[in-house]
Chain A
Amino acid sequence: MGDTAENLKTTPLHALHRELGARMVPFAGYEMPVQYPTGILTEHKHTRAAAGLFDVSHMGQVRIAGADPAKALEALVPGDLIALDVGRMRYTVFTNDAAGILDDLMVNKRDRDLFVIVNAACKEQDIAHMRSNLKGCEVEHLQDRALLALQGPQAVAVLARLNSALPAMSFGMGATLALGKFEGFVTRSGYTGEDGFEISVPDSQAEELARWLLAQPEVKPIGLGARDSLRLEAGLCLYGHDIDTTTTPIEAGLAWTISKRRREEGGYPGAAIVQKQLAEGVARKRVGIRPDGRAPAREGTEILSDRNERIGVITSGGFGPSVDAPIAMGYVATAYAKPETPLGLVVRGKALPAKVSTLPFITKRYAKA
């Protein structure tokens, strides 16, 4: 194994990333591949055209067991976990008492437990939060498991070579499966706007599975750079950027994650504020933004109205390789949140013209049941 910057953790695929010529960067306390030699544009387009393999082993994998873990976890998140069928997964957020977002997470309901994926940068805090608040539940941090994501329209054909039942799995489902000689918890899900799978396997199997996948003609390794441009095109939030403790789920456009029952009953931190915002509206909203020109507008860019009032800020911005244009997301005052509203983006001291856009920027291609 090569040199690693001090104090950075590594995933079980670290040596493989180096062997593949990845450029490694610090990310959430880990040394992770930001790109491979072909570069972000090629990796991004390859994922949308074929299949990309992502190492997301830095993310937190947590098992919650107990008498009724779904009911227990509902005390911390606005998502409807009681109504969730076994075998399905749901996107939700941890909220604080001000209805700010502590992290976003995926919850998989299984026969005897919940399998939860949280962000790498928040995992220690999330686990402590769950341990102190989930009464009667065991919160187990699965530290000996890797997480691989295989994303793109050809991901299903690749994985079908290991398990012929996989094409029948719907998007948003998960199951413990044999994948040839490997065994993992597999969900049909992802963070790219494409069809795809996330595969949780023991650390000891991760490299061999990754090598098998990379040996398939459709599959190329994809770094965090393209992961970011893919999720931005798909209009998906990045925690710490598009959502954080200063944004509520309603401001963030995540009201769709809160069921009718949970809107009415509340029962999670900040519920009263969420209910008020659902009833009365919010002062600002997360929107998609398309600069008119070719210059990208990055995170932190000030957003102006057509009368040059400061009305918001960009939270994620860059270039969308499949859109072939700069794209961004940010928060604007609600009066300016309608698609096609003209905006100015202050880039290097100049107000560049832009417009509010619908999200996502690309058509999502999730596999239907």
Chain B
Amino acid sequence: MTIRYTKDHEWIRLDGAVATVGISEYAQSQLGDIVFVDLPEPGKKVDAGDEVAVVESVKAASEVYAPVGGEVTEKNQAIIDDPSLVNQSPMAEGWFVKMKISDPDALDALMDQAAYDAYLKTL
């Protein structure tokens, strides 16, 4: 199992052929109380960097970008029903979408945990 992060604070975790995407602990803490999540329908194809979801906190809307290219295979209905799950558990229950990714090697371009932790220290 591999986890990688983007500079926009999305994470992507690869379990065999299935990738799960969410936003980091840092991202949820910066957004504050999340009150709405808009997720794509399964079947949507995205390139790396495409907008894949929208999260709205009390204050503002923010986009979530696809860390790598692929096809959305599942959306997390639980965070649509209870957006505060993203605040409570951003790395687990608060995942956004599952994806079939086109090129597993694309993950190599993203940050691993150590690199992301170092990146957070520069912010």
Q: Which residues of A contact B (CB under 8 A)?
A: 34-35, 39-42, 44, 225, 228-229, 294-296, 298, 318-319, 321, 326, 348
Contact = CB atoms under 8 A, between A and B. Distances in A.
B36 A295 contact: yes
A40 B59 contact: yes
Interface in B43-91: 54, 56-61
Given A40-B58, A225-B58, A35 B36 contact: no
A296 B33 contact: no
Given A39-B33, A40-B32, A318 B58 contact: yes
The contact size tier of chain B is 10 to 19
A34 B32 CA distance: 11
Given A41-B58, A294-B35, A319-B56, 4 more contacts: A40-B33, A41-B35, A296-B36, A348-B54
Contacts of A39: 32-33
A44 B58 CA distance: 10
B29 to A, nearest CB: 9
Given A41-B33, A296-B35, A319 B58 contact: yes
30 contacts: A35-B32, A39-B32, A39-B33, A40-B32, A40-B57, A40-B58, A40-B59, A41-B35, A42-B33, A44-B58, A225-B32, A225-B58, A225-B59, A228-B59, A229-B58, A294-B35, A294-B36, A295-B38, A295-B56, A296-B35, A296-B36, A298-B60, A298-B61, A318-B58, A318-B59, A319-B36, A319-B56, A319-B58, A321-B58, A348-B38
A193 B38 CA distance: 31
A322 to B, nearest CB: 12
The listed residue with most A CB atoms (<10 A of its CB), out of B32, B33, B56, is B33
A187 B58 CA distance: 29
Interface string B15-42: 0000000000000000011011010000
